[in-house]
Amino acid sequence: MSSTARQVSDVNILDSAVLPAPEYLCRELPRSAETANFVASAREAIHKILFGDDQRLLVIVGPCSIHDPEAGLEYARKLVKLKEELQDRLYIVMRVYFEKPRTTVGWKGLIMDPDLDGSCNLPKGLKTARQFLNDVLSLNLATATELLDPITPQYISDLICWSAVGARTTESQTHRQMASGLSMPLGFKNATSGDTTVAINAIRAASQSQTFLGISHQGLASALTTRGNPNCHLILRGGNGLTNYDEKSIHSATEALQKNGLLPCIMVDCSHDNSGKDPNKQPDVMQSVTRQAVQPESPIMGVMLESNLIGGNQAFPRPLDELTYGQSITDGCVGWDATEETLRKTYAALKERF
């Protein structure tokens, strides 16, 4: 009888590289006291909007994904000027998305592949993301991201003012548990099928205390017990080719929230299925949503817009020297001029709310 055992673990693992512990990266790229205070007050401002203590509209706007930090910062510098101008009616937060959930496969974002060439240099990706967040916050601009991998928050969440769990992960217990321990307000998107029940269940689960497997700041596998996140809300993004920002959809989502004892508090994503993935339709969606938002007792407290320096998107992968500066390599975005016009129109329409 042979005593040689067959290989039964790591059969499909090609490589494994230890990452720096979160505390190491946070020490290398620390947050200043000013930045910490800015993040805390941005989260408070968003909390007040969620709970109806501030009538401003929360606007999560920016690139579908950050792939070029230089262009991302140019965008941030433009956005912060507009934010300051419109801040008595709009609370503008920049989309700073580093992790992309894919329907099948594709570029998974700057954290996973910062060199855009499939080399997946994760230590560089985490470092670039942390540096970029620090840079945006130093402009006095609040940051929003989707948290996809449950290990990522330990590296960057102290620099995030608002986060989302996406349509592909709202039903995942792992993500609901993660959300229950996060320190910032968070939106759950309805499922890609259009189902909103999964997002409502997610809000309920994330508001509870949970114990689950995670990593500590020292990078050690840990059992984490959370308090529950009281600042979760619903995001309607359409689904299965259909929109869900019309009055009837908003009304039925509101009823479902109330039936579950949750705050009637809804953000509308003007992109994704709500625009049929056509970025040119996002401004019209935003206008329609704003018209509803100014109605008395409207549950609409926020909107999301995918926007970049240049409108549309470019096919990717492609040779890096052929990339158009400031244009999305993931979903199509509204260009800067149209973004500015749309936000100004929203601002003007919101006069009725004040």
Ligand X SMILES: O=C[C@H](O)[C@H](O)COP(=O)(O)O
Ligand Y SMILES: C=C(OP(=O)(O)O)C(=O)O
Q: Which residues bind ligand X (CB under 6 A)?
A: 64, 100-103, 106, 272, 330-331
Out of ligand Y, ligand X, none, what residue 189 binds, judged by CB under 5 to 8 A for its kind, is ligand Y
Q: Give the nearer residue to ligand Y in terms of CB position, either 31 or 237.
A: 237
DSSP 240: T
The nearer residue to ligand Y, 25 or 267, going by C-beta atoms, is 267
Residues near 223 by beta carbon (within 8 Å), at least 6 away in sequence: 211, 212, 213, 214
Compute the least distance from the CB of residue 255 to ligand X, in Å. Answer: 28
- Per the structure block, which two tokens stand in for 293? 């938002």
Question: CB of residue 106 vs ligand X: minimum separation in angstroms?
Answer: 5
Rounded CA gap, 321 and 343, in Å? Answer: 33
Give the C-alpha distances (Å, rounded to integers) separating 137 from 62, 89, 204, 304: 14, 21, 30, 19
HSE-up (13 A, CA, CB side) for residue 138: 10
Q: Which does 67 bind (CB under 5 to 8 A by kind): ligand X, ligand Y, none?
A: none
**167 contacts which partner out of ligand Y, ligand X, none, CB within 5 to 8 A by kind?**
ligand Y
**Spatial contact of 256 and 233, defined as CB atoms under 8 Å apart:** no
Q: Work out what residue 103 binds among ligand Y, ligand X, none; the CB cut-off runs from 5 to 8 Å by kind.
A: ligand X
149 binds, among ligand Y, ligand X, none (CB under 5 to 8 A by kind): none
Sole residue written with tokens 């800067």: 336
By a kind-dependent CB cut-off of 5 to 8 A, residue 102 interacts, out of ligand Y, ligand X, none, with ligand X
Report in angstroms how near the CB of residue 275 gets to ligand X at its nearest. 11
Residues 6 or more apart whose Cβ sits within 8 Å of residue 210: 176, 177, 180, 181, 225, 226, 228
- Say what angle helices 336-349 and 69-86 make with each other, to 10 degrees: 20
User: How far, rounded to the nearest angstrom, does the alpha carbon of residue 161 sit from its chain's CA centroid?
Assistant: 10
- Restricting to residues 255-294, name those near ligand Y by CB under 6 A: 269, 272
Residue 329 has which token pair? 């390599």
Q: Which stretch binds ligand Y (CB under 6 A): 20-28, 127-135, 166-174, 345-353?
A: 166-174
Contact status: 166 vs ligand Y (CB under 6 A): yes
Report d(CA 281, CA 246) in Å as an integer: 14
The phi, psi pair for 77, rounded to 5°, reads -65, -35
- In terms of CB distance, is 233 or 272 closer to ligand Y? 272
List 159, 167, 200, 266, residue binding ligand Y (CB under 6 A): 167
Q: Name which position in 137, 189, 210, 267 contacts ligand Y (CB under 6 A).
A: 189
From 69-77, 125-133, 163-171, 308-316, give the range in contact with ligand Y by CB under 6 A: 163-171
- Please name which of 19, 17, 16 lies closest in space to residue 123, comparing C-alpha atoms: 19
CB closer to ligand X, 157 vs 192: 192
Residue selected from 107, 126, 133, 146 as contacting ligand Y according to rule CB under 6 A: 146
**Is 245 near ligand Y (CB under 6 A)?**
no
Residues near ligand Y (CB under 6 A): 64, 97, 101, 146, 166-168, 189, 237, 269, 272
